[in-house]
Amino acid sequence: MKILALEYQLPSADPDLLEAYQAAQTRRLMELTRKGIVREIYTRAEQRESVLMLECLTPQEAHDVLQALPLVQAGLVAFEVIPLAPYDGFSRLVG
């Protein structure tokens, strides 16, 4: 199942701590990419927050993977998890 994960910085996040955890966060995301769990990574154009495309069996699995990220563990960021389904608009148009 494809999962879209939108990162958002928590209001209480200290920018200095964000910087301190960034290397560990990057290493973990690289591991998850090698394992095929993280399929794509983007940065939102209007702010410094990540957008991840995950491949997981369930939304709960995606949530668990994200909860283990260093920035999440440190209470600096969180993710909105959005399960995706195949587009069905064509079938509505052409039967």
What homologous superfamily is domain 2-85 in, according to CATH?
Dimeric alpha+beta barrel (3.30.70.1060)
Residue ranges of domains in the chain:
2-85
The predicted pLDDT at position 48 comes to: 84
Sign of CA dihedral 54, 31, 33, 80: positive
pLDDT in tens, 29-87: 999 999 999 999 999 999 889 999 999 999 999 999 999 999 999 999 999 999 999 99
pLDDT in tens, 10-20: 998 898 888 89
Q: Which two tokens stand for residue 17?
A: 């701590």
The predicted pLDDT at position 38 comes to: 98
Neighbour count for residue 75 (Cβ, 10 Å): 12
The predicted pLDDT at position 95 comes to: 63
Q: What is the pTM of this model?
A: 0.89
